[in-house]
Amino acid sequence: MRTGIAHARTLLRALPAGALLLAAAVAAATSQPALDEIVITATRVERQAFDVPAAVDAVRLAERPEALGANASEYLGAVAGLLVRDRQNYALDQQISVRGFGARAQFGIVGIKLYVDGIPATMPDGQGQTSHFNFDSAERFEILRGPFSVLYGNSSGGVVQLFTAEGSGRPQWRANMVGGAFDTWRTSLNARGAAGGVGFNVDFTRLRTDGPRGHSAARRDSGNLRLDFHPWDGNHAMLVANRLSSPYALDAGTLNRAQFAADPTLVAPTALQFDTQKSLGQTQVGLVDEQRIGATQTLHLAAYGGRRRVVQFLATSIPAQSSPLSAGGVVDLHNRYGGADARWTLAAALAGRPFTLVAGAAWDAMSSRRRGYNNFSGTATGVIGNLRRDEDNRLHDFDQYLQANWDFAARWSTLMGVRHSDVHFDSEDHYVTATNPDDSGSTRFEAWTPAASLLFKARPDLNVYASFGRGFDTPTFDNLAYRSDGVSGLNLALQPAHTANVEIGLKWRRGRAAYTRIGLFRSVTRDEIAVESSAGGRSTYHNVGRTRRQGAEFELDASHADAWRWQASYTLLDARYRDSFQTCTSSVCPVGSGPIVPAGQRIPGVPRSTAYASLRYDRDHGWNVALEASYLAPVPVNDFNTEYAPAYALLGASGGYLWRRPGWMLRVFGRIDNLLDRRYVSAVTVNDNFGRYYIPGAGRNAYLGFTFATAAP
């Protein structure tokens, strides 16, 4: 009881600070509008963000013209409840968590649904990647948190969508180049506009870097295409295609506390020994078509398909690879994936009040050929050796969903929905020997995920809402791949996690000059999926009973005159295990062995608080400057909370000059990150068996760049 009261008091302490910032926004904002009105599609019904009864944000990429343009973390720092951690390692991708969901990911992104132009970037099992996100051709991000994320099905602790800009108007081309620290260069060429009734946006981007540490060089080439057609009245078709090639992304590895304290630029010795790295290639094509049917109905159809190949060298020790049940130290994945989504929308009136109904179905599938090899041959390491794993993995889901939005009174509206998800896993083992038995297996998970909300328009400039939802999170194929007891076969004892989400919040705005959102949330999960052990780039997982995530969020966005803009956000998050459980602290843990983690421990990888603030002066010509600061509280790195990544605060600055002339524009800019040259941990690997939890952040670094366009973008 006392613990609950203490948590409630902690949440309430965040509100006075929000009120002070809100008052500052009111005083600073003028009647001269500066903030854009945003139309949100995250809830599948186009509405202004202010009128959506959920925590939803849209971030326009043009608001960060001085960004390097390589990672999502450069654009999303101001979004409360969302934490994008740059692993400073292109072999591992970004780590994205929403209100603590997704923090367990050892690489890639789990627990969060990702989309690009309506095409899933998350596979049916919940494993996603942002490596193919092309920021030079993109217009905006949309981020949905809280209960209504569950309407996107499996592993939707939050939803992050990237939208490519639609080509329109006079054709133009644009060239961009940025270079600087760590011998980093990013160049892009972009052409967009409309010709012959077809809108086009085509982009090619190359990134090359030596990385902030030794053995961290990487190269990425990304091509992105969007074509828009209007073949007849009421019809809009969009073709999107993307190609990503990363021939190398070296992995410097994680460090223990002593190594990080001695030299954060140090390369993990095992990374050099086994030449840890990743190469990947991906090609994806999607088609989206919307057809209006009369004045009240719309039919939306989408289909996509793609291929992705990944070859990754891990730092798995030779003795571990010598086990007859080992899958080796080299992963070779060939993935084929595809899917379709169809939905019908009715916009009419119910009892004389606006009413919208959405009904749809989605099917997604992936087929994966997975091989594993030793990462040594004879005495040579860092080379592909003998075959140790050979299997075909297949998974698919078939979901049906229904959503309704009704403004049932002048000041009241409700948004309700439900989704049924059916996820199938199947693995066929082709590597069967006398000492390595058949590991084939299959499993299936099914769940209903409902959500409902109520919004009250207290005043024209103030909305108050409450929402509730139940979601579920299946294991990924990587979660199922290994058992901590060292026995062969899939980890079929692993069950999906089920979460109940509650959120209350308010949104205030002063025209287009100021916007504030304050929210309180609570999520209770049963059968939480957590990292049990991690060693040599390989992790095992288990269910740990109940967990709870609760906290508060605050966002402020205000403008002054036509040039100044203030942004601030704060997240308070208390994420804890509610049940005790047994865990593993070695590479092999037979069932029933291992120490007990007591109830009440904090969930590793989740900071208690984060904050962000920025001040910008930006006009459509002449000088522009920006100053931004971020803070991250200490982060527990293991279940026992015996070690923490230290808190840090970072400061960054940027500035430049914009020339506009008839027919062309030129922007030159520079930026400095980690202005005070702080030593910090940019990301963590939780529950590493050898205490190598820490991924160091880069020291002070600077970039210079320019953008030239034949017309204003």
- Burial (0-12, 13-18, 19+ Cβ within 10 Å), 462: middle
682 vs 270: CA distance, rounded Å: 20
CA geometry: angle 642, 648, 650, nearest 5 deg:
160
Phi and psi torsions of 244, nearest 5°: -125, 135
Give residue 586's pLDDT.
67
Give the count of beta carbons closer than 10 Å to the beta carbon of residue 596: 10
Q: For position 108, what pLDDT does the model report?
A: 78
One-letter amino acid at 55 equals A
Chain segment 496-528, per-residue pLDDT in tens: 999 999 999 999 998 778 999 999 999 999 999
Count CB atoms within 10 A of the CB of residue 47: 19
Provide the pLDDT for residue 592: 61
Kindly report the average pLDDT of the chain as a whole number.
89
Taking residue 1's Cβ as centre, other Cβ atoms within 10 Å add up to 5
Q: What is the DSSP string of 624-656?
A: EEEEEEEEE--EE-STT---EEPPEEEEEEEEE
Joined tokens for residue 427: 């693995």
**The predicted structure's pLDDT at residue 536:** 57
Residue 654 backbone dihedrals phi, psi, to 5 degrees: -150, 160
Q: What is the pLDDT of residue 428?
A: 93
Model confidence at 576: pLDDT above 90: yes
Cα–Cα distance for residue pair 173/140, rounded to 1 Å: 19
- Determine the pLDDT at residue 35: 56
Work out the average pLDDT over 576-596.
79
Cβ proximity of 399 and 380 under 8 Å: no
Q: What is the 3-state secondary structure (H, E, C) of 260-321?
A: HHHCCCCCCHHHHHCCCEEEEEEEEEEEEEEEEECCCEEEEEEEEEEEEEEEEECCCCHHHH
Alpha-carbon dihedral sign for residues 501, 342, 302, 392: positive
Please give the average per-residue pLDDT across 609-635, as a whole number. Answer: 95
- pLDDT for 539: 76
Residue of higher predicted confidence among 535 and 387: 387
Measure Cα distances from 510 to 50, 128, 238, 447, 634 in Å: 11, 37, 36, 41, 36
Asked if residues 277 and 283 have their Cβ atoms less than 8 Å apart, the reply is no
- pLDDT at residue number 479: 86
- Looking at the structure, give the CATH architecture of the domain made up of residues 2-709: Beta Barrel (2.40)
Burial (CB < 10 A; 0-12, 13-18, 19+), residue 196, is: exposed
Residue 166 to residue 562: CA distance in whole angstroms: 26
CB 505 within 8 A of CB 57: no
Check: CB of residue 375 under 8 Å from CB of residue 387: no
Could you tell me how far CA 10 lies from the centroid of its own chain?
27
Q: What phi, psi does 75 have (nearest 5°)?
A: -110, -20
Contact between 205 and 136 (Cβ < 8 Å): yes
Q: Judge whether residue 325 has pLDDT over 90.
A: no
Segment 646-701, tens digit of pLDDT: 999 999 999 999 999 999 999 999 999 999 999 999 999 998 888 999 999 999 99
3-state secondary structure of 495: coil
pLDDT at 490 over 50: yes
Q: What pLDDT does residue 43 have?
A: 81
Q: How far apart are CA 69 and CA 91, in angstroms?
A: 17
The distance between the two most distant Cα atoms of the chain, rounded to a whole number of Å, is 79
Q: Are 686 and 669 in contact (CB under 8 A)?
A: no
Integer Cα distance of 397 and 395 in angstroms:
7
Instruction: Report pLDDT digits (tens) over 438-470.
Output: 888 899 999 999 999 999 999 999 999 999 999
Q: Which residues contact 19 (CB under 8 A, 6 or more apart)?
A: none
Give, for 401, the enclosing helix (H) or strand (E): strand 387-409
Q: Where are the domains of the chain?
A: 2-709
| pLDDT tens column, 389-399 | 999 999 999 99
* Residue 568 near residue 672, CB atoms below 8 Å: no
Closest among 112, 381, 402, 378 to 272, alpha carbons compared: 381
Average pLDDT over residues 238-260: 96
Categorize the per-residue pLDDT at 17 as very low, low, confident or very high, splitting at 50, 70 and 90.
Answer: very low
548 alpha-carbon distance from chain centroid: 21
**Regarding predicted confidence, which is higher, 603 or 538?**
603
* Residue pLDDT, tens place only, 73-111: 999 999 999 999 988 889 988 889 999 998 888 777 888
Position 533, amino acid:
S
Count of alpha carbons within 13 angstroms of residue 556, beta-carbon side: 27
Q: ∠318-324-328 over CA atoms, to 5°? A: 45
Q: Are 75 and 114 in contact (CB under 8 A)?
A: no
**Nearest CA among 77, 61, 159, 85 for reference residue 116:** 159
Cα 424 to its chain centre, rounded Å, is: 24
Average pLDDT (554-572) is 92
Question: According to the model, what pLDDT value does residue 20 have?
Answer: 38
Taking 50 as the threshold, does the pLDDT of residue 3 lie above it?
A: no
- For residues 21-50, give the mean pLDDT: 59
Q: Which residue has the higher pLDDT, 308 or 325?
A: 308
Segment 274-296 shows an average pLDDT of: 96
State the pairing for strand pair 172-180/701-709.
antiparallel
| Span 571-582, average pLDDT | 95
Is pLDDT of 16 > 50?
no
DSSP letter for each residue of 242-277: EEEEEEEEE----B-HHHHHH-TTPPPHHHHHTT-E
DSSP string over 555-591? EEEEEETTTEEEEEEEEEEEEEESS-EE---SS---T
User: What is the phi/psi pair of residue 107, to 5°?
Assistant: -160, 160
Query: Per residue in 556-575, is it b (16+ CB within 10 Å) or e — as a string?
Result: bbbbbeeebbbbbbbbbbbb
- The residue to which tokens 């592909």 are assigned: 384
* Strand 113-116 relative to strand 158-164, pairing: parallel
User: How does pLDDT run across 263-283, given as a tens digit for each residue?
Assistant: 999 999 999 999 999 999 999
Percentage of residues in the chain having pLDDT higher than 70: 92
Q: Which of 25-39, 149-163, 177-191, 546-560 has the lowest average pLDDT?
A: 25-39
Identify the pLDDT of residue 268.
94
Query: What pTM did the predictor assign?
Result: 0.91
